[in-house]
Structure 1
Amino acid sequence: MSVQYDVDAVVLDIEGTTSATGFVVDVLYPYSRKRFGALLTERADEPEVARAIGQVRDLIGEPDADAARIEQVLNGWLDEDRKATPLKTLQGIVWAEGFARGDLVSHFYDDVLPVLRTWHTAGIGLSVYSSGSVAAQRAWFASSPEGDLLPLVDGLYDTENAGPKQEAESYRRITAALGVPAGRTLFLSDRPGELDAARAAGWRAVGVRRPGEPYYEQGVGDHPAVATFDEITLSTRSTQ
């Protein structure tokens, strides 16, 4: 199905939308799992690490949880694929360093990058809203198979600076940050609950359904759906 919109901004989900969930689960999760222990024991005094440790303790109700206990909790959340903010923060630190060292190179579906470049050239603002931390998003786009893509991206939003992805208020916060009217903002995601929340905030919303992705069989509810970014045609006021 092809869709066409007149918008000024596009906000992108990552997993299942621009990139394969399997890459995150099979490559990035094991990478972070192997490195949590050292991060928690050797760098616990660093402000960002300490803040995340405190958040884990608050979430589990164990104010005195030690590094071993924190690591156990993080690995349990990984097993559950839980979108806990401190987990995403600590993953982001580990992944950013892995990308910087060249241990990791991010994944994008073949149809994504040419379309993003076309939209960027047309003057459409591109932002990211992912459950992965802003640090992880920045590293992801900076370490693509085609090099640094951060010049294409105007804003990075996660569950900490915007809020949960299935709550409409989170999308309203992003609207305020972008300075773009809600009705001229398009959200692309594979998850129906996220698409519902974006629409409730006044955004346009399109589901991306890629075979093999976790939400493919579930579908995207009553939202328009595409299989690739090539099926989306966008215009903006500056190109009319």
Structure 2
Amino acid sequence: MSEVRAIVTDIEGTTTPIAFVHQVLFPYARERLAAFVAAHGGEAEVVRTLAEARVLGGIPEASTDETVALLLSWIDEDRKAGPLKFLQGLIWRQGYEAGVLKGPVYADAAAMLRRWHERGLRLFVYSSGSEEAQKLIFGYSDQGDLTPLFEGFFDTRIGGKLEASSYEAIARAAQMPADAMLFLSDHAGEIAAARAAGMQAVLIDRATPPELWHDEAGALVAGSFEAAERACMATAPRR
């Protein structure tokens, strides 16, 4: 890929159907949260996480049942709370390890990630899901274990996905100039933030035929990862 030395990819809607997170993962954790806390509530990391949830929720003296109710309300609100993400990750890990859960990854995404890795491009993930959740989706994917392809995983601890400073921080962490990195996402706001930070960026729109790409108001839009590569190569001389 001309001029690009590293690729940062989003997950939901980009490598993986959005429906998987909202229709499979969230309900799976919700149904098992109370039982998981009852079974593991005495373990140090769970004790600590429940205490953090109570403080964050403004109910530091709440009972275990009240804390579980708080966490369930956060799931229903789709709140990106650290303690909830951590517990969801533990529950999901059990599901993946048991073979009940399998991370769906678009075939074109898996193929291009492998191809880019073979070419020596550095690969990273940046998603609103926790680093643990990211590794589970790619580690137990229906395209095989893809985690060895990635050099690093970033979640919102590095910053919000609509903030240019987050992408600047990723470039610093990778010790690379931002303009040598390509960000792929299905969210126009994230694309704009990455571009504001100096990264190259392509909006992955899976409603577009997978072989096609186009330029929309100065931003590249592609129907697949392969089309995203062609778009960058075709437009590289104009950068």
TM category (shorter chain) comes to 0.7 to 0.9
Q: Which residue of 1 aligns with 2:163?
A: 167
Matched, 1:228 2:201: no
Query: In 2, Cα distance between the equivalents of 1:54 and 1:38?
Result: 18
Contact preservation (8 Å) 2:178, 2:197: yes
Per the TM alignment, residue 5 of structure 1 is displaced from its structure 2 partner at its CA by: 4.9
Query: In 1, Cα distance between the equivalents of 2:167 and 2:47?
Result: 28
Contact preservation (8 Å) 2:221, 2:228: no
Query: In 2, Cα distance between the equivalents of 1:153 and 1:19?
Result: 16
Q: Which has the larger radius of gyration?
A: 2
The alignment partner of 1:103 has SS state of coil
Residue-pair matches, total = 224
Q: Which moved more, 1:139-148 or 1:55-64?
A: 55-64
Per the TM alignment, residue 221 of structure 1 is displaced from its structure 2 partner at its CA by: 7.6
Q: Give the root-mean-square deviation of aligned CA atoms.
A: 2.2
The alignment partner of 1:232 has SS state of helix
Residue among 177, 180, 202 paired with 2:176: 180
Query: In 2, Cα distance between the equivalents of 1:44 and 1:33?
Result: 16
Q: Which residue of 2 aligns with 1:157?
A: 154
Which structure exhibits the higher relative contact order, with contacts defined as CA atoms closer than 8 Å and separated by 6 or more residues?
1
Provide, for residues 138-190 of structure 1, a one-character-per-residue CA deviation record: whole Å limited to 9, x for no partner.
11111111321111111011123x12222222222222221121111111111
What pairs with 1:11-160 in structure 2 (closer than 5 Å)? 11-160=8-157
Query: In 2, Cα distance between the equivalents of 1:62 and 1:195?
Result: 37
Query: In 2, Cα distance between the equivalents of 1:16 and 1:153?
Result: 19
Query: In 1, Cα distance between the equivalents of 2:172 and 2:12?
Result: 24
Per the TM alignment, residue 34 of structure 1 is displaced from its structure 2 partner at its CA by: 1.5
Summarize the Cα distance change of 1:204–1:60 in structure 2 as closer, same or farther, 3 Å threshold. Answer: same
Contact preservation (8 Å) 1:98, 1:104: yes
Residue among 186, 204, 214 paired with 1:208: 204
Q: Which residue of 2 aligns with 1:215?
A: none
Summarize the Cα distance change of 1:199–1:93 in structure 2 as closer, same or farther, 3 Å threshold. Answer: same
